[in-house]
Amino acid sequence: MADGTRSVRGGSPASSPVLGGGGRATAVAAAAGGSSPPGHGFRRVTLTKPTFCHYCTDFIWGLAGYQCEVCNFMSHEKCLKNIKIPCSCVAPSLVRVPVAHCFGSPGHYKRKFCTVCRKSLESPALRCEVCELHVHTDCILFACSDCRQCHQDGHQDHDTYHHHWREGNLSSSARCEVCKKTCGSSEVLSGMRCEWCGILAHAACYVIVTPECTFGRLRNMILPPSCVQLFSRNFSKLHCFRVTENLQTEPDEDDDVDGSTQGSTKDVQISTDSSKQNFSKQMLKIFDGNDAVKRNQFRLISVPRIAKNEEVVEAALRAYYINDDEQEYELQTFTQQALLSDDVINRNDAVEDSNLSSVFRESVPEAWIIRAKPKDEEVIRIYPAWLKVGMAYVSLRVNKDSTTQTVVKEVLPLLGKQTECLENYKLVEVLMGSKQVQRMVLDNQELILNRLKDIRKTSIRQMNQTRLYIVENNKSIVRVNLLVGGLPPQLSREEYINILKAELAIKTNVVSVSHVYQAQGAVVLEISCFSEAERIYMLVKDTTVNDKPLNVVVIPEVVASKIPQNCCPVLVFVNPKSGGLKGRDLLYSFRKLLNPHQVFELTNGGPLPGFHTFCKVPSFRVLVCGGDGTVGWVLGALEEIRHKLACSEPSVAILPLGTGNDLGRVLRWGAGYSGEDPYSILVSVDEADDVLMDRWTILLDADEPAEGAENGVAEPEPPKIVQMNNYCGLGIDAELSLDFHHAREEEPGKFNSRFHNKGVYVKVGLQKISHTRNLHKDIKLQVDQQEVELPSIEGLIFINIPSWGSGADLWGSDSDNRFEKPRIDDGLLEVVGVTGVVHMGQVQGGFRSGIRIAQGSYFRVTLLKPIPVQVDGEPWIQAPGRIIISAAGPKVHMLKKSKKQKKTGNMKEMRGDMSISEGGR
């Protein structure tokens, strides 16, 4: 670290290429006549296979290239002087705002590269669900906490956002916004992308882009991070962003990622290869501290059988991505018994000169531990970012007598705060782990050098990821919001509180009920204590009420006053079970393109968490990704809580993922999702036209008594109310849907494609082909208080939209003076009959239309016997009684895809609005 005060440009590692250097590597660049590459240690290597340059992406011709010994960055000799991308070893020091990543379960990712070691992800790897970070499972410990900051957490809050650059994993056709040339590559990790606005650039070009980010083409659809508050502390990132945890376990930062089993496997493989290639090499296990020893987490290095101590120390530091001077470290060895008992034996207590001349021979132990040599004084960095003083950090020299209080006293004048009282500030230690950012306030009398010594003794790697921040002693207000669902519906606030007291033992002095959703059986808890919030969250998952499991979701708070006037964010609901399981990929894509706090998974609490999060947003739109049943689910939830929303009538768009997708067809969103670019879908939503659509209420009043009546007194079943958007069918149409529903319940794993689902429909239809036509004898129909005589039919269908059964026109296009031309907002339903399965097949093929029976706004159907009924694809057997269909309140606002394609240029080129500084030209 340099002495004195120094200002540093902030950002993610790729955002700050000006820092770095030092350490081991730089003579090559100096010889080439250029500046030192940021932190890299390049060495000339002989190429044994086709290799591409990571800077210019061109093929490296010849047998020689230059490779960074730490991060594996490959380069031409001519490119060394131009490299701006920092090495992985200095990346943590360049992070502007430490934000942990949100890693899901390991998966296979083709044509992707690890951000840490820059190698291809051939084995199962991890990716962040919020940004484009991809890492190997054994590289995750060395990934820095440079994820997107999607909300304010009370630590480093600001309203101005800079580009958040991420290197590599771009399409080979990606083009630079500055020079318009290709900047992507499928061969190496290359090119830069802003993870907010999406602009693309070369590593040499992105530095001249104006640092402020405007969020690009989707700026009016993105929920600005400055408007979202979430106090999460120790909540997992998966919980904060409501990412469903799969059954497959994921390696945790505290688990044995590089542990004995994995390490042994790697040891055997590498040792075997080495023995074949070079008998003069040997493999050593290297631990970076006591924590690694206890967990048996080690890294393997290959060194000559005769090597100097300093060469082995240098190789060990490289294995842990540490750029410090090897003279400041030493190796200690221990036996296997010491490994288990944590009794580390120091065998390097000879004088320094003899250490430099000593060598490792064949008899050396196989396991070593890196130790930092003790220091009497040291230069440390103090970060004042939370104070907004205009500099990234100050450097301060401390000695063995320096305490937290003396450090604060010396730092304040350097920050221009000489008159401030020491008691108003504290020193905070921040561990910037890739999966969690941990903060700890240091005691005023704690000796700084002793604290640093303890951290290095625990883990050299952790020391490289630890910062010291000076922070004002502002008393922060803790407010954690949890939405608890699965409770009995239609209870009072007091009854819900009593249930929570009995089941969860909530503490009313720190827990209050801020919102009650009686129809959904859900409450929102506002908690002013982190530990109580964490306890309740974990306890709810194992709690049932009336044999029904409870569910809980962490809810962010949206500050409506900070939302720009022209911003109309889109609230995205995704059903991951729809569309051949394509919903999972869409969830990931929308989380990357938008703020993850505006993307909700419907299998995790339903639509309520999303609508509650947006309840104060003055204007927003909704995008529903799912089938017609999913759309009806969301519209029904919207109708129930409309009165609690600041925007009571948001417009709804559809991304059809189901089998039929009739509503999506009518609104021009297509017959089904087939892999279109999610970015293009969001642009289409932004340009869509607002239309109105009727919704209908169906009252089901059965005459048959409920089973199990007491004292022999038969009580009729209470009336049931359902909502209809598309159509309602009685008879053969509903019977086919019911058979399909039963088949899917028996083998749900097979129903993962639209083609298979339609095949099952055909199969059950053929089984009903000889069905007799007598439905007209079993029901009576009244339309607008008038009796209607039914023809000889087997199915009766009420249609609200001009699409039925995967796009068929059941009403037909022929003009008829008896009826008005159907529209989705005319306040009328069309009644159509079908004579059987053959007739339905003819309608599907476009050869016939249905039998037009009536058109009206109020319908009464009397059932004389149990009859199959289906509403928007949800079938059941309805007991004899009455069915009343009437308009359901106000019309719903829908978004219809515009026919006009606005001239917005190339879609990929419009992903960001980029300004180039005048001096950068």
How high is the pLDDT of residue 220? Answer: 93
Q: Give 5's pLDDT tier (boundaries 50, 70, 90).
A: very low
Q: Give 749's pLDDT tier (boundaries 50, 70, 90).
A: low
Range of lowest pLDDT (117-126, 234-243, 350-359, 713-722):
350-359
Nearest-10 crossing angle of helices 732-746, 837-845: 90
Q: Give 443's pLDDT tier (boundaries 50, 70, 90).
A: very high
How high is the pLDDT of residue 580? Answer: 62
How high is the pLDDT of residue 25? Answer: 41
Q: Give the pLDDT mean for 603-615.
A: 94
Distance, in Å, from the CA atom of 201 to the CA atom of 592, rounded to the nearest integer, reads 18
Q: Give 2's pLDDT tier (boundaries 50, 70, 90).
A: very low
Q: Which residues contact 303 (CB under 8 A, 6 or more apart)?
A: 281, 282, 284, 311, 312, 315, 360
Range of lowest pLDDT (205-219, 380-394, 823-837):
380-394
User: Which residue, 346, 331, 342, 329, is CA-closest to 295?
Assistant: 342
Q: Per the structure block, which two tokens stand in for 434?
A: 């890739």
- Please determine, for residue 604, whether its predicted confidence score (pLDDT) is greater than 70: yes
Distance, in Å, from the CA atom of 580 to the CA atom of 599, rounded to the nearest integer, reads 20
- Please determine, for residue 750, whether its predicted confidence score (pLDDT) is greater than 90: no
User: Which residue, 123, 122, 148, is CA-closest to 133?
Assistant: 148
- Please determine, for residue 769, whether its predicted confidence score (pLDDT) is greater than 60: yes
52-69 per-residue burial string, b: 16 or more CB within 10 A, e: under 16 = bbbbbbeebeeeebbbbb
Q: Give 813's pLDDT tier (boundaries 50, 70, 90).
A: confident
- Residues 838-876 pLDDT 10s: 888 888 888 888 899 999 999 999 999 999 999 987 889
Q: Per the structure block, which two tokens stand in for 66?
A: 């230059």
- Please determine, for residue 249, whether its predicted confidence score (pLDDT) is greater than 50: no
- Please determine, for residue 916, whether its predicted confidence score (pLDDT) is greater than 50: no
Range of lowest pLDDT (234-238, 299-303, 317-321, 807-811):
234-238
Taking CA atoms, 398 is separated from 3, 325, 376, 407, 411, in Å, by 11, 19, 9, 8, 11
How high is the pLDDT of residue 844? Answer: 80
How high is the pLDDT of residue 277? Answer: 46
- Please determine, for residue 200, whether its predicted confidence score (pLDDT) is greater than 90: yes
Q: Which range, 148-157, 458-467, 468-477, 761-770, is most confident?
A: 458-467
How high is the pLDDT of residue 860? Answer: 95
How high is the pLDDT of residue 661? Answer: 86
User: Are residues 211 and 201 in contact, defined by beta-carbon separation less than 8 angstroms?
Assistant: no
Percent of the chain exceeding pLDDT 70 equals 79
Strands of 779-783's sheet in order across: 720-724, 696-702, 881-887, 858-863, 779-783, 786-788
Q: Give 248's pLDDT tier (boundaries 50, 70, 90).
A: very low
* Ramachandran area for residue 273 (φ above 0: left; ψ -120 to 50: alpha; else beta): alpha
Q: Which range, 51-65, 265-279, 379-393, 753-767, is most confident?
A: 51-65
Compute the mean pLDDT over every residue in the chain, rounded to the nearest whole number. 81
- Please determine, for residue 885, whether its predicted confidence score (pLDDT) is greater than 90: yes
User: Which residue, 382, 386, 347, 349, is CA-closest to 367?
Assistant: 347
- Residues 687-716 pLDDT 10s: 999 999 999 999 998 876 544 444 444 556
How high is the pLDDT of residue 729? Answer: 92
